[in-house]
């Protein structure tokens, strides 16, 4: 039977880790992900799992140790946030190019400066081109479910790429919500044992991991890595379908909320989507055809699929919880904007930055965005560039 519980996002992900019982976890503490290695360490100390925990001196070291463990054939994970992910930057690319299916529990927090410990997507979005799969959660339930699915995606023979399972710092990681857990044996059977075909400690195979590649070979390796990311899209959907059969909870590359007949749509990632849903329900009662496209998977980027889902909208607001400093908006705006253009969508588009450094996004803020969308659907977008929401100009 499903287990009803009340947990924070960090607790929920740690519980999924306990159920999976991975082989190795190197980690270094950083707010707001510190609780994750703390919970796992407690599980190990209490004899509930036999994961090898490796305390390290930095996040660069934790990812380096994860690479070594995964290359040796171990199911491996780590956790971090913000500047911790930035400190891993160099070796994030190594993990992906070496095709190592490491799972990273990433609790999204803004990068400095100024120094801030609250929610923002600048950490994961900064690493969007590092070759990692990226999946985002709106709430604690999704954070748990995403991590249960993570290894099945990353370790698939057609993928073999590392994966970031992301959730919003404090808003999701520390807030306690009702959650439905799966039974231990269901999770163990679903995730299965990790049996890599190629790994360094395989005595019957002589191989190298991460060797120097000259121009004659390096581009082919990158092409194969790119193909793996393309393959991941279908694998994510296949794993989600199997997960739905087990749990009753449905997932895709994105979620469409009251989008089927929407004239005005918001596209966003993470916890703010719950607030947007409340605004949509209020507006629907007034006859406003408002909808939401909640992005779950950012890498691989489902541009064509999202453009198709938004094809009948008159106006769209694409919302980024980070700043690219491109003078044109954030990364979601750039990538989805390109997909809409390529797909020949006719909607007017507002590019919006919101919620930086944990700034609240309210129901009223979303209602105002939908009001603005109704205006631009008729009169077009007047301003150049993009806009901020909830900021003192």
Residue 317 within a domain: yes
343 pLDDT tier (thresholds 50, 70, 90): very high
For 54-89, write each residue's pLDDT tens digit. 999 999 999 999 999 999 999 999 999 999 999 999
Average the pLDDT over 155-168 and give the result: 98
385 pLDDT tier (thresholds 50, 70, 90): confident
For 283-315, write each residue's pLDDT tens digit. 999 999 999 999 999 999 999 999 999 999 999
Average the pLDDT over 234-260 and give the result: 98
Residue 393 within a domain: no
Does residue 269 surpass a pLDDT of 80? yes
For 170-214, write each residue's pLDDT tens digit. 999 999 999 999 999 999 999 999 999 899 999 888 888 888 999
Please indicate, yes or no, whether residues 162 and 214 belong to a single structural domain of this protein: yes
Does residue 113 surpass a pLDDT of 90? no
Is the distance from CB of 361 to CB of 389 less than 8 angstroms?
yes
| CA separation for the pair 278, 13 (Å, rounded) | 26
Please indicate, yes or no, whether residues 20 and 168 belong to a single structural domain of this protein: yes
| Structural domain span for residue 113 | 3-247
Is the distance from CB of 343 to CB of 311 less than 8 angstroms?
yes
| CA separation for the pair 201, 267 (Å, rounded) | 45
Residue 209 has a pLDDT of 84
| CA separation for the pair 166, 380 (Å, rounded) | 35
Does residue 48 surpass a pLDDT of 70? yes
Using alpha carbons, select from 215, 193, 242 the residue that is nearest to residue 73.
193
| CA separation for the pair 40, 289 (Å, rounded) | 45
Residue 215 within a domain: yes
For 3-47, write each residue's pLDDT tens digit. 999 999 999 999 999 999 999 999 999 999 999 999 999 999 999
Does residue 332 surpass a pLDDT of 90? yes
Residue 1 has a pLDDT of 60
Measured in whole angstroms, how far is the alpha carbon of residue 299 from the centre of its chain?
8
Average the pLDDT over 247-251 and give the result: 97
| CA separation for the pair 40, 99 (Å, rounded) | 25
| CA separation for the pair 263, 44 (Å, rounded) | 52
| CA separation for the pair 6, 52 (Å, rounded) | 28
Is the distance from CB of 338 to CB of 372 less than 8 angstroms?
no
Longest dimension (CA), the chain: 69
Using alpha carbons, select from 114, 113, 124 the residue that is nearest to residue 86.
124
Give the residue carrying structure tokens 């190990």.
44
Please indicate, yes or no, whether residues 147 and 269 belong to a single structural domain of this protein: no
Domain count, the chain: 2
277: left (phi over 0), alpha (psi -120 to 50) or beta: alpha
Peptide bond before 127: cis, by omega within 30 degrees of 0? no
Give the neighbor-by-neighbor strand order of the sheet with 297-299. 77-80, 103-108, 163-168, 133-136, 297-299
The residue out of 226, 247, 268 marking a domain boundary is: 247
For 270-284, write each residue's pLDDT tens digit. 999 999 999 999 999
Give the residue carrying structure tokens 């500047």.
83
For 126-136, write each residue's pLDDT tens digit. 999 999 999 99
CATH of the domain at 49: 3.40.50.970
Give the residue carrying structure tokens 């095709």.
99
CATH of the domain at 378: 3.40.50.920
Please indicate, yes or no, whether residues 25 and 161 belong to a single structural domain of this protein: yes
Residue 205 has a pLDDT of 86
The residue out of 200, 219, 247 marking a domain boundary is: 247
Average the pLDDT over 49-58 and give the result: 97
Please indicate, yes or no, whether residues 240 and 316 belong to a single structural domain of this protein: no
Interior/surface letters 158-194, b for 16+ CB within 10 angstroms, e for the rest: ebbbbbbbbbbbbbbbbeeeebebbeeeebeebbeeb
| CA separation for the pair 372, 385 (Å, rounded) | 16
Is the distance from CB of 105 to CB of 32 less than 8 angstroms?
no
């Amino acid at each position: 039977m499903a287990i009803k519980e009340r947990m924070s996002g960090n607790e929920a992900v740690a519980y999924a880790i306990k159920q999976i019982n991975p082989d190795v976890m190197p980690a270094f503490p950083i707010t707001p992900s510190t609780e994750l290695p703390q919970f796992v360490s407690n599980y190990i100390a209490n004899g509930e799992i036999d994961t090898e925990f490796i305390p390290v001196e930095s996040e660069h070291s934790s990812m380096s140790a994860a690479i070594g463990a995964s290359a040796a054939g171990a199911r491996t994970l780590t956790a971090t946030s913000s500047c911790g992910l930035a400190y891993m930057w160099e070796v994030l690319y190594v993990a992906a190019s070496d095709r190592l299916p490491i799972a990273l529990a990433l609790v999204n927090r803004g990068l400095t400066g100024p120094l801030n410990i609250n929610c923002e997507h600048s950490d994961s979005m900064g690493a969007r081109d590092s070759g990692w799969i990226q999946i985002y959660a709106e709430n604690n339930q999704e954070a748990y479910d995403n991590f249960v699915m993570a290894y099945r995606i990353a370790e698939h023979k057609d993928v073999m790429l590392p994966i970031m399972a992301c959730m919003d710092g404090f808003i999701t990681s520390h807030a306690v919500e009702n959650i439905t857990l799966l039974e231990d044996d269901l999770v163990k059977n679903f995730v299965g044992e990790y049996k890599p075909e190629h790994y360094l400690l395989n005595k019957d195979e002589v191989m190298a991991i991460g060797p120097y590649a000259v121009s004659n070979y390096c581009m082919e390796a990158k092409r194969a890595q790119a193909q793996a990311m393309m393959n991941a899209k279908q694998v994510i959907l296949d794993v989600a379908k199997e997960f739905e059969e087990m749990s009753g909870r449905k997932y895709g590359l994105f979620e469409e909320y009251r989008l089927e007949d929407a004239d005005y749509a918001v596209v966003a990632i993470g916890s703010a989507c719950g607030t947007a849903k409340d605004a949509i329900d209020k507006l629907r009662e007034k006859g406003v055809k408002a909808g939401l496209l909640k992005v779950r998977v950012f890498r691989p980027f489902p541009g064509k699929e999202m453009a198709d889902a938004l094809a009948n909208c008159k106006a769209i607001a694409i919302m980024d919880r980070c700043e690219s400093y491109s003078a044109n908006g954030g990364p979601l705006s750039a990538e989805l904007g390109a997909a809409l253009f390529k797909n020949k969508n006719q909607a007017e588009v507002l590019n919006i930055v919101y919620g930086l450094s944990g700034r609240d996004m309210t129901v009223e803020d979303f209602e105002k965005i939908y009001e603005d969308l109704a205006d631009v659907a008729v009169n077009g977008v007047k301003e150049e560039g993009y806009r901020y929401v909830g900021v003192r100009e």
